[in-house]
């Protein structure tokens, strides 16, 4: 099954419309995609209400396409560990990510708390914050694996940032944590650009444990 569970539309900071993204996904032979615009608290985020509107738009388009289109959000994790999302009503999938961590330590502490929020399905692009990848703090990585497992949160394999690290994903696999595949596309040409993620999933997870909402 060909999937891409992390795509931005022009409702947040993506360049292309919902319709054009679905067209592109269909042409590329994808079976399942998720539209996951940035949420409240992000500079170009959408509101929960805008996600409901996207969901209605998709419901009208869906009958004309083979590719199954889910609608969700990439919710912001705040430095307090709160997930900036009032409701996940009408959302098929909720990714959570922390874009603005001032330090690695703040990142880990906030993410550990955020994953206890039952609205969260997936931790997106782990170890990418403030526009760069950071090195792991091993004791926190081990705690993170436990919290992912205990709260039934999946880990995203993000093709754009080629993250998380191999070592971290092996730990996730060994703990029985599920994974998702994401391009983090911001334009149609990148929809379904998930070769790195697919190869990583094949090598580490042996393609077992794909999270489907």
Binding segment for Zn ion (CB under 5 A), chosen from 58-66, 71-79, 136-144, 162-170, is: 71-79
CB 171 within 8 A of CB 145: yes
Nearer to Zn ion among residue 134 and residue 175 (C-beta): 134
Binding segment for Zn ion (CB under 5 A), chosen from 57-65, 82-90, 180-188, 195-203, is: 180-188
Q: What does the alpha-carbon distance between residue 71 and residue 54 come to, in Å, rounded to a whole number?
A: 7
Nearer to Zn ion among residue 79 and residue 146 (C-beta): 79
User: Is there binding between residue 180 and Zn ion (CB under 5 A)?
Assistant: no
Length of the chain: 213
Pattern of binders to Zn ion over 16-55, x per CB under 5 A?
A: ----------------------------------------
Q: What does the alpha-carbon distance between residue 199 and residue 38 come to, in Å, rounded to a whole number?
A: 26
Binding segment for Zn ion (CB under 5 A), chosen from 10-18, 70-78, 106-114, 129-137, is: 70-78
CB 159 within 8 A of CB 130: no
Nearer to Zn ion among residue 130 and residue 138 (C-beta): 130
**Tally of CB atoms within 10 A around 106:** 16
How big is the chain by its Cα radius of gyration, in Å? 16
Residues facing 156 on adjacent strands = 180
Q: How far is CA 90 from CA 20, 45, 93, 189, 211, in A?
A: 22, 17, 9, 27, 19
Name the region of 115 (left: φ>0; alpha: ψ -120 to 50; beta: rest).
alpha
Nearer to Zn ion among residue 74 and residue 117 (C-beta): 74
Count of residues in contact with Zn ion, rule CB under 5 A:
3
CB of 151: closest distance to Zn ion in angstroms?
A: 20
CB of 108: closest distance to Zn ion in angstroms?
A: 17
Among residues 121, 141, 184, 190, the one that binds Zn ion under rule CB under 5 A: 184
Among residues 12, 97, 159, 183, the one that binds Zn ion under rule CB under 5 A: 97
Please give the residue ranges that form the binding site for Zn ion (CB under 5 A).
74, 97, 184
């Amino acid at each position: 099954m060909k999937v891409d569970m992390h795509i931005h539309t022009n409702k947040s900071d993506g360049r292309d419309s919902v319709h054009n993204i679905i067209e592109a996904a269909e042409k590329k032979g994808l079976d399942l995609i998720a539209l996951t615009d940035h949420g409240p608290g992000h500079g170009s985020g959408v509101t929960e209400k805008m996600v409901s509107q996207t969901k209605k738009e998709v419901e009208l388009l869906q009958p004309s396409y083979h590719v199954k289109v889910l609608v969700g959000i990439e919710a912001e994790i705040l430095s307090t560990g709160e997930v900036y999302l009032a409701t996940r009503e009408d959302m098929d999938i909720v990714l959570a990510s922390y874009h603005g961590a001032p330090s690695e330590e703040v990142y880990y502490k906030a993410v550990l708390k955020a994953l206890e929020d039952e609205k969260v399905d997936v931790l997106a692009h782990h170890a990418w914050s403030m526009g760069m990848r950071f090195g792991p703090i091993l004791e926190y990585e081990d705690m993170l694996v436990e919290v992912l497992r205990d709260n039934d949160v999946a880990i995203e394999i993000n093709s754009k940032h080629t993250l998380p690290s191999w070592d971290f994903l092996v730990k996730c696999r060994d703990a029985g944590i599920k994974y998702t595949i994401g391009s983090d596309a911001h334009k149609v040409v990148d929809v379904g650009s998930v070769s790195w993620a697919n190869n990583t999933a094949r090598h580490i997870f042996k393609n077992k444990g794909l999270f489907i909402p």
